[in-house]
Structure 1
Amino acid sequence: MWEIVTTGQSGATVSRRDGVYRKTSNDPRDDLPGEAARLTWLRAHGIPAAQVLSSAPGLLETAEVPGLPASDYRHGVVDALADFTRVLHALPIADCPFDRRLAVTIPAALAADVDLDDLDDERAGWTRDELVAQLHATRPVQEDLVVCHGDLCLPNVVLDREGSQVTGLIDVGRLGVADRWTDLALMTRSLSDPGLNPGYGPWAADRFLTRYGIAPDPAKNDFYRLLDEFF
């Protein structure tokens, strides 16, 4: 019998049985064959990710990734996440066939429905028109392009039980070439919220950026969190 998985924030239905994870969705925006292609590409480039067992429109089955989600706090997790993010971002963008530049993601955002009941606290009560206006007004002029996960948050990274090494990535449907702050903004948001991920807090986001080796960029940080509201 398949057991429903309730952790994570994927819009698809996720279930597991005997070491196999199954993701299903009737939403055409959930490109599960595209996610399968991204998982396969990552593994071919030496990045640990879930092994694809089968895929079809509306269906993706992967082998279980050994370990625990990064949201299960353990000592050393923040440093391991930062180190791994640097490795991911060092992959050659010329080899990545998946495009998530703003020329792609902004039109997709404008075509998407937005759950106005699930906005970040700082945008609670905003209308869709207000979100769109802010998106246009704050769009960065330049993109610092790397290979990004696209939804880099604690539940989407699996580490060994010691919390010292990443054993795999999951939910990679938005992986592609994008500004590095696509990942940095979402991971620091995930690390900053002890209500969502107990054991963490603002200190963890600061440590992550320091370990990664980059200064805060409030403008890009805010923009890419805003863009995420549309997905």
Structure 2
Amino acid sequence: MELPQSIRNQIEGKEYQIDETGMSGSRILLFSDMVLKVQRKSRETEQELCMMEWLQDRLPVPGILAKEEAGEEQFLLMSRLEGEMMCEETYMGNPVLQTKVLAEGLKRLWAVDLSGCPADCRLDHKLMRAAEQVEQGLVDLDNVEPDTFGPEGFRGPEELLDWLFGNRPEEEAVLSHGDYCLPNVFGKGDRLTGYLDLGRAGIADKWCDIALCYRSLSQNYSGRFHGKAYSGYDDLSLFKELGIAPDWEKIRYYILLDELF
């Protein structure tokens, strides 16, 4: 792949591995102390850079070492987070430890002062984005939950979008990661070490992250991404660690909203 010179100067001659975890479609090169992320330019990639810069002194996110654009591609060289993803064996084999770190990650997001946050991802904005996705035929129907569409679900993205507009809940605004799934949260032992993939981060309802975390836990423990199922997972453990009761209506709403992205 052709790399901008400023990127090449920092990585040339260094050993790397290709990371195939996740579903973003980005190309990820892992170095011992850096990560190179190559992706097609979009509104989401611009938001990721903006939020990473804003969060540098607020939360543990990667440091930006270099950023370049060439044609339709964006190149982002960043520092590598310490620790492991929440979907690694260390945490999948210890759901109590995993839940502790995930809950800490949510609480730290919610504790951030929203003053000056450059991205608004509340429903006024998110539903407009969802409508664009549907109108432009960008909904990935191959990666939705089996019962979202079809005889037991919605007839298609248009019907789902109408339902989302008609059933929008009250929002409790916090700083939201926007894609709070196991591969995007890092820990070391019982300590949170950082967040990745911040292209959907911004001000949003706290239940957005709770819903996507709950879904990610369920999918990973069922064996959807590992090729094997794990035991010992209590689907109420996240709520117990957070000290809140599950709001199943909001959880369903935000999981369905995410189906359009």
Give percent identity, aligned residues only.
Answer: 33
**2:160 counterpart of 1:123:** no
- Distance in 2 (alpha carbons) for counterparts of 1:91 and 1:20: 26
> Which residue identity is paired with 2:56?
R
Alpha-carbon contact 1:159-1:166 (below 8 Å) kept = yes
TM-score (norm 2): 0.79
Matched, 1:105 2:126: yes
Runs of 4+ displaced beyond 4 Å: none
Q: Displacement, 1:2?
A: 5.0
Contact 1:110 1:132 in 2 (8 A): yes
Tell me, yes or no, if structure 1 residue 150 matches structure 2 residue 178. yes
Kept in 1, the 8 Å contact 2:174–2:206? The answer is yes
- 1:14 pairs with 2:28: yes
**What SS class does the counterpart of residue 115 from structure 2 fall into?**
helix
Deviation at 1:124, TM superposition (A): 4.1
Partners of 2:40 and 2:202 lie apart in 1 by 23
AA matched with 1:221 = I
Partner Cα separation in structure 1 for residue 55 and residue 42 of structure 2:
23
Q: For residue 253 of structure 2, what is the aligned residue in structure 1?
A: 223
Q: Does 117-126 or 165-174 show the bigger shift?
A: 117-126
1:139 pairs, out of 168, 184, 200, with 168
What pairs up with 1:1-231 in 2 under 5 angstroms?
A: 3-31=17-45, 33-45=46-58, 47-57=59-69, 58-72=74-88, 73=91, 74-75=93-94, 76-112=97-133, 113-125=138-150, 126-140=155-169, 142-160=170-188, 162=189, 164-193=190-219, 194=221, 195=223, 196=225, 198-199=229-230, 203=234, 205-231=235-261
Query: Which stretch shifts more, 194-203 or 127-136?
Result: 194-203
In structure 2, how many angstroms separate the alpha carbons of the residues matched to 1:107 and 1:9? Answer: 23
The match for 2:9 is none
Tell whether the 8 Å contact from 1:192 to 1:200 is kept in structure 2 after alignment: no
State the SS of the aligned residue for 2:40. coil
Alignment partner, residue 8 of structure 2? none
Q: Distance in 2 between matches of 1:82 and 1:55?
A: 31
Q: 1:11 to 1:30 in 2, by over 3 A?
A: farther
8 Å CA contact retained: 2:47, 2:119 = no
When residues 181 and 130 of structure 1 are mapped into structure 2, their CA distance, relative to the original with a 3 A threshold, is same
Query: What is the TM-score normalised by the length of structure 1?
Result: 0.89
Quote the RMSD (CA, aligned, Å). Answer: 2.0
Give secondary structure in 2 for the equivalent of 1:93: coil
8 Å contact kept, 1:209–1:216: yes
Q: Which structure 1 residue ranges, 5 or more long, are not aligned?
A: none
Per-residue deviation at 1:39?
1.8
Q: 1:165/1:4 Cα in 2 relative to 1: closer, same or farther (>3 Å)?
A: same
Post-superposition offset of 1:4: 2.3
Q: Give the superposition deviation at 1:37.
A: 2.5
Whole-Å separation in 2 of the counterparts to 1:41 and 1:90 = 15
CA contact (8 A) 2:33 2:79 kept: yes
Name the aligned partner's letter for residue 177 of structure 2. H
Per-residue deviation at 1:16? 2.2
